[in-house]
Amino acid sequence: MTGSFPTIRPRRLRGSGPLRRLVAQTRLHPADLVLPVFVREGIDAPVPVSAMPGVVQHTIESLVAEAHRCVEVGVGGIMLFGVPLAKDPEGSGADDPGGILNVATRAVVDAVGDRLVVMTDLCLDEFTSHGHCGVLDAAGRVDNDATLERYAAMGLAQARAGAHVLGLSGMMDGQVGHVRAALDAEGFTEVVILAYTAKYTSGLYGPFREAVASSLVGDRATYQQDPPNAGEALRELAQDLAEGADIVMVKPAGPHLDIVAAVAAESPVPVAAYQISGEYSQIIAAADRGWIDRDRVMLESLIGIRRAGAQIILTYFALDAAALL
């Protein structure tokens, strides 16, 4: 054959919606999504979160109804955060069998069984009067090793309540190994650990802090990762894997898609990413002002996270996105 090759025209594969769907390299499915939810002690009706339009603090009853909705639309999982009435320096409500998170976990697991993956947030920040993710020493600093003991107790309480997956979000050194050892020693060898491997300190957590009625003054920069740094995320990944993490996660997702991709390239276990409260609220706020198309940007943001390598996406859009997929 003589002559030059014909001009390559990638546009040929973009000519129609069905053709674009046929050749799409990245697909988003409801089963990829996990809905984070808040359950609050002492209320008799859901309470809207003003900084997160469309999100509420649930009662036990409305939480169970939300879990049923997740099952109906095929969402993969639900992540539970507790909002207690009382707090103390040790976060004692976190491992109290009668504490709001453990009571809610039992209620959701009893309601949906194995039709939905029930995840629980394993961190003390919602339960401590000072708002930090661990217990403090005499100088007011977070005591890493003392906190690990509290995490082990909290993990056992959540496992006894029936949680399928424990989300270790506190960013304490050694947290995965310590909790894994405690679970295995008590026979909870099948409970999955989701390690928050790269959880960056961020200005986008603000709406979440309203949702959990956070008591925090200051920040968590001494134990969450610093946004300019990428290499330490891979060191954290290596440590979490060595300690027995079953799933690893990057948070926030949108500002750190490079980290999602780097972790996905190295990880032999599934990778999750959390589209956090501020990411959600920015889209809602811009859409409410007519500046962007809410549904289009919502799906585009989720596809971007999926394309970066996350197999699992925690997002407050989970139900809305699932309805469109």
SS percent in the chain: helix, strand, coil, step 5: 45, 20, 40
* Sequence ranges of the domains in the chain: 28-324
Q: Is the pLDDT of residue 118 over 80?
A: yes
Grade residue 11 by pLDDT with cuts at 50, 70 and 90. confident
Q: What is the pLDDT of residue 75?
A: 98
CB neighbours of residue 239 within 10 Å: 17
What is the average pLDDT score of the chain?
94
CATH 3.40.640.10 fits 28-324, yes or no: no
Q: How far apart are CA 205 and CA 212, in angstroms?
A: 11
What are the C-alpha distances in Å from 289 to residues 131, 284, 285, 315? Answer: 33, 9, 6, 22
Residue 299 burial by CB count (10 A; 0-12/13-18/19+): exposed, middle or buried?
middle
Buried b (16+ CB within 10 A) or exposed e, 29-52: ebebbbbbbbbbbebeebbebebb
Query: Which one, of 231, 221, 276, 278, lies nearest residue 251 by Cα?
Result: 276
- Please answer whether residues 87 and 93 qualify as being in contact, where contact means their C-beta atoms are separated by less than 8 angstroms: yes
Active site residues per annotation? 199, 251
For 238-248, the pLDDT digits (tens) are 999 999 999 99
For 174-185, the pLDDT digits (tens) are 999 999 999 999
